[in-house]
Amino acid sequence: MAGNSKLLNNEFWKVLSTLDSLNQDVSMSELCHHFGDKVKEEDVLDVLTFMRKFDFPLKAQKRDGKTWLCFTGKKPRVSMELSLAEWLSFQAHFPLLDSYEGKEIYNTLATRMKRVEARFPQFDLYRVLEEEEQMNKFHHLIPKDQEQNLEEINLAIVHGELLILRTGENSKVEVLPHKVVFLDGVLSLIAEDTNDRCMVCLDFTNIESSVPVSEHRYKANFVGQEVDDFVMAIRSITGNEERLVMRISAPEKVNLKPQFHFLGSPYVTTNTEGEFIWAASVEVSEELFKWIESIKDEVEILDPQEVKDEFENYLSKKQIQKPLKKAS
């Protein structure tokens, strides 16, 4: 491992990462056996000398004629607290790191960043950007006269405003909107009626107009978890809810919070192989399958088997419906 080109030397960073992950003393022969033929004892000592320049508490010692790597103190940790703007800016640089994909120096950092992203899903820059993109696409699918309604509802949700909705001839209702989600395959507004302070579910297509009420003294009667419980209760009535479990190969490429999809009680963990396992309560619908289809190259449905079969049938039907290309 001669030379000064340590940055892109895979063996160098592989040894460095391994030494940093050690929790107890280890013999040099055992460590070299772990790396195989590509790494020799002098290579390990070269990395160890490099790490000692940063006061890493590991040194080589002789025991009964054998070389051991022994800890002389507590391993250092580097803590970095970021503001929201700094974290979003950091995420914006992630694509630049892909130029080193496949290198050990990339793998070490990418693994750590995945864990940080999983801990703070509410600050996922690319999820929000993708949601905005999906919102723009969705605007093209709804009638022009309803685009304004959707925009005003989303703004009211963000700003905590009330809305006066017209849902038919001389039919008006004042609501505090909470979220817009697909329920039973229908885009629906979940809100609370300010008159009786109860939760309501309104078909978005039945909303003819909406007028925001920015100044009011109404206080929300339901918190986020209660709103989610209300959505899950509606799903339990329709019988469409399932606990979906998927294996995710590239979490950084997958939007786990798609626009207008209610994913109840989401949970992310990793298995013994370092793969991300994601689970959430979902509504089995064509909209769900459209979302899974958009990320199918990065995920695998593990459970339930019925949903996996339905998704495969959905893909098969789409393939059959595709028109055949004319021979040129």
pLDDT of 291-316, one tens digit each? 888 888 888 888 888 889 999 988 88
Count CB-CB contacts under 10 A for residue 106: 17
Query: Does position 327 have pLDDT exceeding 50, yes or no?
Result: no
Q: Name the nearest CA neighbour of 95 among 253, 248, 249.
A: 253
In the chain, alpha helices (H): 10-21, 28-35, 41-52, 84-92, 94-97, 104-119, 125-141, 144-159, 224-238, 286-294, 305-321
283 is written with which tokens? 């509504």
Q: What percent of the chain is modeled with pLDDT above 90?
A: 11
Write down the architecture of domain 157-237 according to CATH. Roll (2.30)
Count CB-CB contacts under 10 A for residue 223: 10
The CA-based angle 240-287-181, given to 5 degrees, is: 75
Q: What is the pLDDT of residue 3?
A: 45
Q: What is the pLDDT of residue 1?
A: 46
Crossing angle of helices 10-21 and 104-119, in 10° steps, is: 50
Mean pLDDT of the chain: 82
Q: What is the pLDDT of residue 280?
A: 85
Q: What is the pLDDT of residue 328?
A: 26
pLDDT of 156-180, one tens digit each? 888 888 999 888 767 888 999 998 8
Q: What is the pLDDT of residue 124?
A: 84
* Pair 142, 135: CB distance under 8 Å: no
Q: What is the pLDDT of residue 272?
A: 63
Q: What is the pLDDT of residue 56?
A: 92
Q: What is the pLDDT of residue 192?
A: 92
Across 58-67, 108-117, 133-142, 222-231, the highest mean pLDDT is recorded for: 58-67
pLDDT of 21-38, one tens digit each? 888 999 998 888 888 888
Q: Name the nearest CA neighbour of 252 among 66, 44, 102, 91.
A: 91
71 is written with which tokens? 């800890």
Model confidence pTM above 0.85: no
What string of DSSP letters covers 169-213?
TTEEEEEEEEEEEEETTEEEEEEEETTTTEEEEEEGGG--EEEEE
Fold of 240-318: Alpha-Beta Plaits (3.30.70)
For residues 199 and 234, give the distance between their C-alpha atoms in angstroms, rounded to a whole number: 11
**Do 240-318 and 10-71 have the same topology in CATH?**
no
Mean pLDDT of 226-236: 81
For residue 248, count CB atoms less than 10 angstroms from its CB and return exposed for 0-12, middle for 13-18, buried for 19 or more: buried
For residue 228, count CB atoms less than 10 angstroms from its CB and return exposed for 0-12, middle for 13-18, buried for 19 or more: buried
Q: What is the pLDDT of residue 38?
A: 81
Q: What is the pLDDT of residue 78?
A: 87
For residues 49 and 55, give the distance between their C-alpha atoms in angstroms, rounded to a whole number: 10
DSSP state of 165: E
Q: What is the pLDDT of residue 136?
A: 63
Query: Does position 5 have pLDDT exceeding 80, yes or no?
Result: no
pLDDT of 39-70, one tens digit each? 889 999 999 999 998 999 999 998 888 899 99
Query: Does position 254 have pLDDT exceeding 70, yes or no?
Result: yes
87 is written with which tokens? 């974290």
pLDDT band for 126, please (50, 70, 90 cuts): confident
For residues 275 and 235, give the distance between their C-alpha atoms in angstroms, rounded to a whole number: 30
Q: What is the pLDDT of residue 134?
A: 63
At residue 162, φ and ψ (nearest 5 deg) are -85, 160
For residues 20 and 16, give the distance between their C-alpha atoms in angstroms, rounded to a whole number: 6
Q: What is the pLDDT of residue 169?
A: 67
The CATH classification number of 10-71 equals 1.10.10.10
> Domain residues of the chain, as ranges?
10-71, 84-123, 157-237, 240-318
Mean pLDDT of 213-219: 84
- Residue appearing with tokens 């606990």: 243
Residue 83: what residue type? S
The residue among 94 and 324 whose pLDDT is bigger is 94
